[in-house]
Amino acid sequence: MSRITGTGSFVPAKIIDNFDLEKKVDTSDEWITERTGIKARRTLATGQTNSDMCLEASKRALQSAGLKAKDIDLIIVATMSGDMPMPSTAAILQSKLGAKNAAAFDINAACSGFLYGLSVADKFIRTGASQKLLLIGSEVNSRFLDWKDRTTCVLFGDGAGAVVLEPAKGKRGILSTHLHTDGNMWDFICLPGGGSQLPPSSKSIRDRMHFIKMRGNETFKIAVRTLEKLALSTLKHNNVKPSELAMLIPHQANLRIIAATASRLNIPMDRVAVNLDKYGNTSSASIPIALDEVVKAGRIKDGDYVLLEAFGSGLTWASALIKW
């Protein structure tokens, strides 16, 4: 079994609140707050990159684990907004961090990316293939938003969260991870342009194909149904009752989705990590940022059960149960 031995996070300084967005598109603070729970989001400064945010979050996670960059043998970056299509953002981070003993690769499962990464990381450690692993979820969503599309541009933000994983010495650690995909609904949330299906062209740019598109309302309904089932099956797999959970750390897409899951599990909101009011949906970064905040605030203690769950493009959904 693997255990998280360090956490760290980074969000850019620039804040865009709902009132700023009222000036850009036909929206209102009232609509965004009521429908999503989001009040503000961060955007990365021009000239800064995804790997720069990974670097800051990683340094903080390494410090909290008491490790040096050269101790790390594997780096995994979960992202859908990497520095460039090739090489991986993880490789660029490896250089910036000076983690010369680490292999490095990216993983992309959109908003479920961190939990997909956690599952892969846990398996590397369980097999003995890695001893000290750095996993980061990091997104520069602001660069892929259509700032003329009010149905998406109000939702997303930038940020990075990192964890260090090591083999567990006792019975505390990642108890199980669960991954799911239904590719039939790939077009519910997608960024159609820029890949091999639709390489960049003046037409693809004119048609605004290099931005995130989402069928939000249909996704919402599936997310609520799916996350309840996912949370219950993850707990059942480990013989843990919802009432035994110390903390639920959900992906931060919509407060109504988070509250519906908590209510269906009968978990009071004071045992649910929420930060989308400050950061919006930071995709693969949302769970590790929230985890870092919860740890730093002393909201979880040794031996607590912590449930992580996410839903996103693919469609993908994933969970992990941790005995902290």
Catalytic positions are 111, 251, 281
Does 37 engage in binding with ligand ACO (CB under 6 A)? no
Among 154, 162, 247, 300, binds ligand ACO (CB under 6 A): 154
Does 151 engage in binding with ligand ACO (CB under 6 A)? yes
- Cβ at position 70, least distance to ligand ACO in Å: 34
Among 78, 92, 110, 175, binds ligand ACO (CB under 6 A): 110
- Cβ at position 274, least distance to ligand ACO in Å: 14
Among 31, 33, 172, 185, binds ligand ACO (CB under 6 A): 31
Dihedral sign from CA coordinates of 294, 299, 302, 304: negative
Structure tokens at 219: 């996704």
Among 10, 114, 116, 220, binds ligand ACO (CB under 6 A): 220
Does 291 engage in binding with ligand ACO (CB under 6 A)? no
**Helix 50-65 vs helix 286-296: crossing angle, to nearest 10:** 30
Identity of the residue numbered 236? K
Does 150 engage in binding with ligand ACO (CB under 6 A)? yes
Pairing mode, strands 40-43 and 245-250? unpaired
Question: What is the dihedral angle through the alpha carbons of 246, 249, 254, 257, rounded to the nearest 10 degrees?
Answer: -50
- Cβ at position 314, least distance to ligand ACO in Å: 8
Does 223 engage in binding with ligand ACO (CB under 6 A)? yes
Residue 60 sits at the vertex; the CA angle it makes with 100 and 289, to the nearest 5 degrees, is 115
- Cβ at position 239, least distance to ligand ACO in Å: 29
Question: What is the C-alpha separation between 195 and 45, in angstroms, rounded?
Answer: 25
Does 172 engage in binding with ligand ACO (CB under 6 A)? no
Helix (H) or strand (E) holding 16, with range, is: strand 14-17
Does 143 engage in binding with ligand ACO (CB under 6 A)? no
Does 192 engage in binding with ligand ACO (CB under 6 A)? no
Does 138 engage in binding with ligand ACO (CB under 6 A)? no
Q: Binding marks (x or -) toward ligand ACO, 39..68, rule CB under 6 A? A: ------------------------------
Among 253, 274, 285, 320, binds ligand ACO (CB under 6 A): 253
Q: Which residues pair with 214 in a beta bridge?
A: 189
Question: What is the C-alpha separation between 106 and 24, in angstroms, rounded?
Answer: 33
Dihedral sign from CA coordinates of 267, 215, 191, 146: negative
- Among 27-35, 94-102, 114-122, 269-277, the segment contacting ligand ACO (CB under 6 A): 27-35
Measured from the Cβ of residue 6, the count of other Cβ atoms closer than 10 Å reads 22
231, burial (CB in 10 Å: exposed 0-12, middle 13-18, buried 19+): buried
Q: What distances in angstroms separate CA 54 from CA 51, 96, 195, 205, one per listed residue?
A: 5, 10, 23, 28
- Cβ at position 66, least distance to ligand ACO in Å: 34
Pairing mode, strands 74-78 and 103-107? parallel
Residue ranges that bind ligand ACO, judged by CB under 6 A: 27, 31-32, 35-36, 110-111, 150-151, 154, 189, 216-217, 219-220, 223, 253-254, 257, 281, 283, 311-313
